[in-house]
Each structure stands twice: as C-alpha cells, then as structure tokens.
Chains A and B, each alone.
Chain A
C-alpha cells in the first residue's frame, strides 16, 4: 500500500517537517564545536545533519512534483482512528506502567486492545488477555528473570506464598 507512485495525503507536510527537523539538528551540530577542526566531536554530526538537510529538501521537492492520490483519505488510508487509538493506548500503558505495575497495566492493556482489535466479546477478550499474560509472565518473569515493575499487586509476596505452600514450609 505504501508503494504507489502517487503521493499520500500528509506526505508533503511530513517531508516539510523533516526539513525543519534536519535544519534544527544541523544548527545543534554546529553548536557542538563549530567549524573548529575536521576531527572535532561535531564533525560527523555536522556531516550527517547536512546530508539530512540536503536529502530532506530533495525529498520535499519530489513530493511537490508527485500528484496526490485522489482516492486516498488521510484519516482512512494514512492515519485511521484505530492507529491513533492504539498509539494512545501504548502511551497510557507506558505512563502508568511503573505506578500500577506490570500485571495490572498489562491485563487492562491487553483486554482493551484485544476487545477493540479483534471485535469479540468482552469475556473472550478477558480470557485471552489472562491466558497470554500468564504465559508472558511465566516465560519472561520466571524463566528469563526479567525485572518488571511490581506496582499495586504484591507479586513477590504472592510468589513467596505460593512457593511456601508447595514447599510445605
């Protein structure tokens, strides 16, 4: 879908933003050590950002010449609401991850994402979310020993209680 010869809505703006971004980076690269020496810490950043400015200007000019794909709509073909929703969902997930902890955040994230994306019943999504979380927890937390934020659920206390129960102590 991204290989059409015509231009998608928003490409010009995106290319223009990249030009501005590249110019900003070129200025920041210059601030590192100016044009003092060819071997200065700022030499490679200046070279790379100058290349970015040049390449982004060419890409922007190309986008001015390419005709717009008349059938494509920005909020349908380029940035459908579902993409925005998922981006926001991941953002919220990252924000609350440390406060609420891995288990609580992940279960809510998976439940909501599965419900919306697979369009199945709430119970089915919750079941699958629980099952996936158990699998991920066992593989990554227990086998790979990855440290994940604990948050509001006292994981270590629960795990200790379970091991005491099975250990008979």
Chain B
C-alpha cells in the first residue's frame, strides 16, 4: 500500500505531473533534433536543477530520458537522420515507409510500439529490481569490481570498431575520476600542487564538455546539409496493425530489457539486436526488410524504449550504469544525495517506487505527445544548425559555470569539449570515458577493499575469485567479451559457429 502511495506521488501532485509532462515533451524534441541528445540535455540540466527538490529534478529528467529515447525515431523516419543512436535501426525501414507517403502511419505505429516497449521495461524493472537488490547485498567487493570492469569492457568493445580505442577511453575515464585527494588516505593524486584540483575534476563539467560542446563542434561539419521534407498522412495507427504486431513488439521488448539491463549495453545495441531478430523470425514480410517493412520499424522501437526500464535495473540495484545516458543519470542521482546500489531499495524504497511510477507516467505522456502535434514538430526540427549550435554552446558555458559559480569548471568543460571533438573525429568512443568517470570511485574502493581482505595477496585474490560461482561467471564474461574482439574469434571461430547455425 505504501509502495502504491509512492508510485502515485508524481501522478497526484500537479507540480510533479506538470514537470514530468514538460520533461517528456522537451525530451521528444531533444531526442528528435539531430545534434541534441538526451545525454547532452541531462548533463546540462543537472547543473541547473541540483538546488531543486530531488523529486522535482527527477521528474524532469525521467521525462527527458523517456521522451528522448522515443524522439530519436521521428527524425529517423522523417529525415533519415536518427536523432539518437538508439534510432539508427529505426531509420532502416522507417524512412522507406515515409518515402512511400506513410510517414504519419509510421510515426503513429512507432509511438504505440515504443509505449508498449516502455511498459514492458518498467514492468520488468518493478518485478526484478527488488529481487536483484536482495541478491546484490551478498555481492563481495570483488564482484562489484568485476561488474564495473565488465561494463567498461562491454561499452568499450561495442561502442566503436576498435577494442583498443574503447578500452583507452574507459581507462581515461577511470583516471579522470581518481584526480583529487584520495578519499581514504587524503594523499594527492594528479593535483600538481594546485589546490583547486583537491576536489577532483567536476564530473558534470566533463559531461557537458564531452557530450555538449564536442557534439556541437562536430555538428559544424554539417552546417549546409539540406533537409528533405516528407508529407505526413494519418497518425493514429489502425487497430488491426497494432494487434497484428503485438507479439513481435512484446518479443522485441524483452530483448530490449535484457540488453538494457546488461552493464555496458543500452538502447542502441538493443534496437539493432531486436531488428536483427525480427528479420530472422519474420518468415514472409509483406514488404522486404530495408524497403519499408513495418516489422523493421516496430522491433527496434519497442526494444529501445524497453531498454530504458532495463537500464534502470543495474543502475538502481547495483549502482552500475548501463551506458552513457544512464552514467549521466547516475551522476544526477549522486548529486541529489541518492546513493544508487543494493541499499537504495532497502533504505529508501519510496525512491524506487516513485521512480517506477514516474517512468510509467512519462511513458503515458510519450503516447499523448507522440500522437499529437506532429505538424508543428516537423516545422521545429528544421531549426537550422547555425542557430542551434551557438545556443547549445551558450547553455553549455552557463551550465558549467552554474555548478560552482566558477570559471574553472568552464575551463574543464572546454578542455573536455576539444578532447571529445578529436576523439569523435578519430573514432575514439566518448561513452566509455563518462562511464569510467562514474565507475572510478566504485572501482577504486572495491579494489582496495577486496585486496585488503586478502591481505594484499594476489594469489589468494584469484583463488577466492574462482571459488565463488558469481565471481567466476563475471570473470568468465569479461574474458569472453575481450576474446570476441580478438582475430581468433572474429576471423576464425565466429564465421564457423554462425554459418553452421
């Protein structure tokens, strides 16, 4: 009963309801406008909302997250430009549908399927999280360390073509997170005698630089890209279509939740995997995949929204973010004094049920805003980059300054912006850097706890690692994730295994 009260908190308070609606509405636009991303919006927003009441700030950010994941599909369908990485798979069949004059129907169908996916994700979160969190209490420091390494390895190997570049980015993030006074011994780490560095590098400044400034600078390459407009027909999808594709959307949603729940994998990978699975399981599509198959639109859309609920599972139960967006989000939770981890559900169950209720509400708003206002929307997303980029840069500077009312954070933001620009240019992934920064403290603490409990004996550490089933599984998963990136797997084993199947 108490859980239900907290679940309904954001539904019954007009202020929280309005903030969730506003967040979702803004999220849809942020997600849809190429060049703006949820990660960027949440990073900038943290600095503006950290003095707010935690519930208010969460409502706004949850709305932006939920709306943003869905919003990316709209420009993928209308302009063939995915507004977010999770919408890359949507463009494959969404844009051909729009070219056939079915843009409205495609948007309508993708909205309904996104919402179904969203509900499946939230449902699994509500059921699974309390159980996982009870189990997580038994985790040893060693297991946390392994989970964090697994997350970094997965995000590093999957987010770019090169494992080396991914691992470099993750390790850089971990190192950035260690700058400042050591929390245990107060020894200086990378401070170069500068007192301002004692508190470390501000995570939000780094986030705004990496996701806001570097993205804005990168968009300068596409200043003169012409936009091809599509005609929009009916938006509400036919009921027969919704019923026909319901099994596929449920199946894709479950793929989405599972992929989303794995540390290191998020909506983009979930969408691509669900697309691939739909392609295999649909024996006779009306239209071939890639030429406007509705199945090819539904599967990634259901999966990427289901991945939101999935990504919340490790975030709330273990304190481990799934991908860059959840890493930024976990940063926001820390700023607001919440400590995501197994104890969150025990010490602050109200926060958990509040989040579940809030996600459900945001999902309903996705449905409402998704099926209305599309004509105004198609006008707004045509906002020229020449206008958008100066505004993003201005907001980034203001956001970084607002963290501590200090120009030092603006310098950090700029430095990370320039670094991020060249990293993007030369195909070094950005996501693992921020994941590394967020996981750095957890890794540092748990490594030291784990090794102290073994009295500094590495042999004992490994002996105990292999005697624990959980640690062994996690260790094996890391080794496997690394192995799949070696030439032995990619050139020899993978073709052999998968061509037979």
Contacts and interface: CB of A to CB of B under 8 A. Distances in A.
Nearest to B187: A41
A140 B171 CA distance: 35
A117 B402 contact: no
10 contacts: A25-B175, A32-B190, A59-B162, A59-B165, A90-B213, A113-B393, A117-B220, A117-B389, A136-B398, A144-B48
B26 to A, nearest CB: 12
B390 A113 contact: yes
Given A18-B168, A25-B175, A98-B407, A45 B451 contact: no
A13 B371 CA distance: 49
Interface string A1-15: 111000010110011
Contact of B394 (A41, A117, A128, A136): A136
Interface of A: 1-3, 8, 10-11, 14-15, 18, 22, 25, 28-29, 32-33, 37-39, 41-45, 47-49, 51-52, 55-56, 58-59, 62, 77-78, 80, 82-83, 86-87, 90-91, 93-94, 97-98, 102, 106, 109-110, 113-114, 117-120, 128, 132, 136, 140, 144-149
Contact of B51 (A15, A22, A94, A145): A145
Interface string B408-440: 001100100110011011111000000010001
B452 interface: yes
Interface in B368-390: 384-387, 389-390
A83 B220 contact: yes
A47 B447 CA distance: 11
A114 B390 contact: yes
A45 B187 contact: no
Interface stretch (B128-136, B178-186, B332-340): B178-186
B356 interface: no
B223 A48 contact: no
A97 to B, nearest CB: 6
A3 B171 CA distance: 22
Contact of A140 (B164, B168, B398, B411): B398
A115 to B, nearest CB: 9
- Indicate the member of A25, A29, A39 with the most B CB atoms within 10 Å: A39
A148 B386 contact: no
A48 B174 contact: yes
Interface size of B as a range: 35 or more
Given A45-B190, A94-B397, A97-B397, 5 more contacts: A2-B425, A14-B422, A56-B168, A87-B217, A109-B394
Given A52-B172, A140-B398, A94 B414 contact: yes
A32 B161 CA distance: 34
B175 A86 contact: no
B458 interface: yes
Nearest to A145: B51
A3 B426 contact: no
B430 to A, nearest CB: 11
A102 B189 contact: no
Contacts of B426: 2, 8, 10-11, 14-15
Contacts of A82: 220, 223
A55 B165 contact: yes
A43 B448 contact: yes
A84 to B, nearest CB: 10
Contacts of A11: 426
B405 interface: yes
Which 9 A-B pairs rank lowest in CB-CB distance, beginning with the nearest? A118-B386, A113-B390, A55-B168, A117-B386, A58-B164, A41-B182, A51-B171, A48-B174, A55-B167
Contacts of A43: 447-448, 451
A29 B178 CA distance: 10
A24 to B, nearest CB: 10
B443 interface: yes
Given A45-B175, A49-B171, A86 B398 contact: no
Contact of A90 (B174, B397, B428, B447): B397
Given A10-B426, A49-B171, A97-B410, A38 B451 contact: yes
Contacts of A42: 189
B443 A33 contact: no
B398 A110 contact: no
Contact of A86 (B170, B389, B391): B389
Contact of B220 (A37, A80, A91): A80
Given A55-B171, A136-B394, A38 B456 contact: yes
Contact of A110 (B216, B394, B401, B458): B394
- Indicate the member of A14, A45, A82, A109 with the most B CB atoms within 10 Å: A45
Contact of A106 (B188, B189, B394, B414): B394
A11 B448 CA distance: 37
Contacts of B220: 80, 82-83, 86, 117
Contacts of A128: 387
Nearest to B49: A144
Contacts of B456: 37-39
Given A80-B221, A94-B414, A59 B168 contact: yes
